[in-house]
C-alpha cells in the first residue's frame, strides 16, 4: 500500500477548477478562424452542452455509487443510459415519426425523463432488493440488462418505418460532436434542480457511505433518502444521454479519479472535484482531439477505452482483496 500523504482537498479543488477553466477557454478560443460572433455562439452552445453533460455524469455517478455502496457500478455500467435510448426509440415508434416530430422536443424529453425515473426505479429495486446481494451478480445482470435494452432499441429501429427512423436519428443519436441544441436549456435546468434537491442532503449522503444499517442507526431515513437521490440520478442520466448519448465508462473514470485525489469521503469535497475532472476530460479532451490532434470523432472511444481499462483494474483489485 502506498504511503498516505494527506493531500489538501482545497489544493486539489483549486488545481482541478483552474484546469477546467483553462480547457473551457482553450475550447472557445483555440484555432479560431472566421468572425468571433459566430465562433463564440457556435462553440458556446457546444461548451454549455459539454459542461452540462460533465456535471450530470459526474454527479449521477458519485451519488449512484454512494447509494449502492460500491465503486464499480455506475448508472451507465448498469445499463441506465441504454434504457433511456430504448425509451426514446419506443416513444418514436409508438407515436410515429410525424407524431413525435410535431411534439416540442422539450415536452417529449420531459415525458421520457418521467418514464425514466419510474422504470429505472423499478430496475434498481429488481437488482438491489434483498439483503444478501452479491456484487458480481449485480454487475453481470446490469451488463445483461444494458445489452438487452440496446438490442431491443436496435430491433425497434430495424422494424420501424424509415421516415420514423429519420426523426429518431435526428433526435436520439447525439454524440460529443453532434449535440442537440434544443435540449441544452432543459438539461441545464434539470441539473440545477438536481443540485438544489441534493445540496441539503449531502451530510446525510456522507453518513450513507457507512452502509444502510449504520446510517439508519445514526438517524438517517435511508429509504426516503435513497428514493429521492435515485430519482435525481435517473433525471441526470436522462439529461446527459439526451444530450450526447451513452457514455459507458466515463462516469466511472471521473468518479474514481476523484476518490483517488481527495483524501476524504465527504460529498461536499468529492463532488466538486469529480465535476471539475469531468469538465477537464470532456472539454479538454474534445479540444485536444479536435484542434490539436486533428481527429474528428474519437473522444468517446478514447474515454471509453481509458475508462474501460480503469473498470477492469478496479474489478481485479477488488477481487484480490
Which of 81, 164, 206, 304 forms a contact with another protein (CB under 8 A)?
206
Q: Which of residues 2-41 bind another protein (CB under 8 A)?
A: 4, 6
Q: Would you state the cell numbers that stand for residue 125, as one nine-digit string?
A: 429495486
Confirm or reject binding of residue 162 to another protein (CB under 8 A). Answer: no
- Phi then psi dihedrals of residue 106, to 5 deg: -70, -40
Interface size with another protein, residues (CB under 8 A)? 26
Closest alpha carbon to 243 in 9, 57, 96: 57
Give the nearest distance from C-beta 252 to another protein in angstroms.
Answer: 15
Among residues 1 and 159, whose Cβ is nearest to another protein?
Answer: 1
Confirm or reject binding of residue 304 to another protein (CB under 8 A). Answer: no
Give the nearest distance from C-beta 188 to another protein in angstroms.
Answer: 28
Confirm or reject binding of residue 221 to another protein (CB under 8 A). Answer: yes
Confirm or reject binding of residue 203 to another protein (CB under 8 A). Answer: yes
Which of 49, 207, 252, 273 forms a contact with another protein (CB under 8 A)?
207
Q: Which of residues 70-109 bind another protein (CB under 8 A)?
A: 70-71
* Cβ count within 10 A of residue 182: 13
Which of 132, 219, 294, 296 forms a contact with another protein (CB under 8 A)?
219
Binding track, positions 247-276, relative to another protein; x by CB under 8 A = ------------x---xxx-----------
CA–CA gap between residue 251 and residue 176 (Å, rounded): 15
- 201's CB contacts (< 8 A; 6+ apart) are 225, 228, 229
* Cβ count within 10 A of residue 69: 15
- 144's CB contacts (< 8 A; 6+ apart) are 79
Confirm or reject binding of residue 218 to another protein (CB under 8 A). Answer: yes
Helices (H), the chain: 9-29, 36-68, 80-95, 97-102, 105-128, 135-159, 162-172, 184-198, 202-208, 212-217, 222-244, 250-261, 267-279, 285-287, 299-320
Return residues touching another protein (CB under 8 A). 1, 4, 6, 69-71, 202-204, 206-207, 209-211, 213-214, 216-221, 259, 263-265
Amino acid at each position: 500500500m502506498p504511503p498516505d500523504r494527506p493531500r489538501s482537498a482545497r489544493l486539489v479543488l483549486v488545481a482541478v477548477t483552474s484546469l477546467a477553466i483553462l480547457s473551457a477557454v482553450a475550447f472557445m478560443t483555440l484555432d479560431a478562424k472566421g468572425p468571433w460572433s459566430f465562433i463564440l455562439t457556435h462553440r458556446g452552445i457546444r461548451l454549455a452542452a459539454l459542461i452540462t453533460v460533465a456535471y450530470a455524469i459526474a454527479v449521477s455517478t458519485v451519488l449512484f455509487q454512494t447509494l449502492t455502496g460500491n465503486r464499480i457500478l455506475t448508472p451507465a455500467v448498469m445499463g441506465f443510459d441504454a434504457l433511456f435510448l430504448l425509451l426514446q426509440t419506443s416513444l418514436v415508434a409508438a407515436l410515429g415519426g410525424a407524431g413525435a416530430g410535431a411534439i416540442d422536443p422539450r415536452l417529449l424529453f420531459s415525458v421520457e425523463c418521467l418514464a425514466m425515473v419510474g422504470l429505472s426505479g423499478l430496475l434498481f429495486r429488481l437488482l438491489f432488493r434483498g439483503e444478501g446481494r452479491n456484487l458480481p451478480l449485480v454487475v453481470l445482470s446490469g451488463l445483461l440488462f444494458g445489452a438487452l435494452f440496446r438490442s431491443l432499441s436496435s430491433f425497434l429501429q430495424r422494424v420501424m418505418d424509415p421516415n420514423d427512423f429519420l426523426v429518431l436519428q435526428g433526435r436520439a443519436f447525439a454524440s460529443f460532436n453532434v449535440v442537440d441544441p434544443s435540449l441544452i436549456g432543459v438539461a441545464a435546468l434539470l441539473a440545477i434542480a438536481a443540485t438544489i434537491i441534493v445540496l441539503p442532503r449531502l451530510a446525510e449522503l456522507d453518513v450513507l457511505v457507512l452502509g444502510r444499517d449504520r446510517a439508519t442507526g445514526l438517524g438517517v431515513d435511508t429509504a426516503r433518502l435513497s428514493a429521492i437521490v435515485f430519482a435525481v440520478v435517473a433525471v441526470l442520466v436522462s439529461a446527459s444521454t439526451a444530450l450526447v448519448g451513452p457514455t459507458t465508462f466515463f462516469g466511472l473514470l471521473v468518479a474514481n479519479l476523484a476518490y483517488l485525489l481527495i483524501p476524504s469521503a465527504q460529498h461536499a469535497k468529492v463532488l466538486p472535484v469529480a465535476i471539475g475532472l469531468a469538465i477537464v476530460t470532456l472539454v479538454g479532451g474534445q479540444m485536444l482531439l479536435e484542434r490539436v490532434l486533428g481527429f474528428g470523432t474519437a473522444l468517446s472511444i478514447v474515454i471509453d477505452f481509458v475508462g474501460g481499462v480503469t473498470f477492469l483494474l478496479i474489478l481485479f483489485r477488488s477481487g484480490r482483496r
